[in-house]
């Protein structure tokens, strides 16, 4: 039978501070919420005018905007992934740290959503669904 004292002891042994994890999750959730609410306004192509170079700018701005929007979605998804996996880590800490392989994989997947080096290289997110 697992007692409360056992839980506390195990968490201490693993240095799993639920408060710290809670703070981290809070940051991640706040970040993902803020990013999720952000709308990077697209600039209509015609707004640049009819000059050939302006038309080209419009086309490329639209392309860039599409990438930015996709990158934002991915980052939100990744931050959710971080938070979810930390939560799982905290919840499963009682069992044993070897159980954290699942969380490690989850973290890796979440990282693929957030840690792409540039907006252009976004699109490698492997998380199945947002916040799941």
Partner 1 sequence: MAKGPEETRLDSWLDGSHEGVVDLGGEAWSKAAALLAHVQLGIERAAAQAAVLGGETGPAAARAFARSAEAMGKKSDELRAGGHALSLTARAVSVARQQRREMGPPPNEPMAPEPPAPGAPPTDKDLEKQAAYRSSVAAYQHDQQQREARSKAITSDMDVQYRSATETMKKIHGEPDPVHKTSTTNGSGGGSSTPAGSGGQGRTATPTTYDGSSSPSGTGGHSPGLVTSGPGHAPASSTSAPPATHGSTTALPAGNAQSTWSESAPGAGVPGALSTGTSGTTAPASSVGAGAGITGGAGLMGGLAAGGLGGNLTGGVRGAITPVSSSSATGVRPIGSAARSGVSGTLGRGTTTVGTGSTGGGSSRSGGRSGSTSRGTAGGRGASTGATGRGGDRSRDRSKKSERDHFDEEWELEDEDIAPPVLD
Options 28, 77, 125, 127; binder of partner 1; rule CB under 8 A? 28
Shortest separation between residue 92's beta carbon and partner 1, angstroms:
9
Residue 68 CB contacts under 8 Å (≥ 6 apart), including other chains: 40, 119
Other residues' Cβ atoms within 10 Å of the Cβ of residue 42? 14
Q: What angle do CA 92, 29, 102 make, to 5 degrees?
A: 30
Half-sphere exposure of 86 (CA within 13 A, CB side): 22
Tell the smallest beta-carbon distance from residue 12 to partner 1 (Å). 9
Q: Is there a contact between 131 and 77 (Cβ–Cβ < 8 Å)?
A: yes
Considering only residues 53 through 92, tell me which ones interact with partner 1, judged by CB under 8 A.
53-57, 60-61, 63-64, 66-68, 71-72, 75, 78-79, 82, 85-86, 89
The reply on whether position 95 binds partner 1 by CB under 8 A is: no
Q: How many residues bind partner 1 (CB under 8 A)?
A: 67
Nearest Cα neighbor of 71 from 63, 46, 55, 131 is: 63
CB of 111 to partner 1, least distance (A): 4
Contact between 110 and 75 (Cβ < 8 Å): no
Binding site for partner 1 (CB under 8 A): 13-17, 20-21, 23-24, 27-28, 30-31, 34-35, 38-44, 46-57, 60-61, 63-64, 66-68, 71-72, 75, 78-79, 82, 85-86, 89, 93, 97, 100, 103-104, 107-108, 110-111, 114-121
């Amino acid at each position: 039978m697992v007692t409360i004292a056992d839980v506390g002891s195990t968490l201490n042994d693993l240095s799993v501070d639920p408060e710290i994890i809670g703070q981290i999750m809070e940051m991640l959730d706040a970040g993902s919420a803020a990013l999720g609410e952000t709308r990077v306004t697209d600039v209509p192509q015609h707004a640049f005018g009819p000059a050939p170079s302006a038309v080209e700018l419009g086309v490329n701005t639209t392309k860039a905007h599409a990438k930015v929007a996709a990158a934002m979605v991915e980052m939100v998804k990744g931050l959710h992934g971080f938070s979810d996996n930390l939560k799982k880590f905290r919840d499963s800490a009682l069992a044993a740290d070897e159980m954290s392989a699942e969380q490690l994989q989850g973290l890796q997947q979440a990282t693929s959503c957030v840690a792409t080096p540039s907006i252009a290289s976004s699109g490698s997110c492997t998380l199945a669904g947002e916040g799941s």
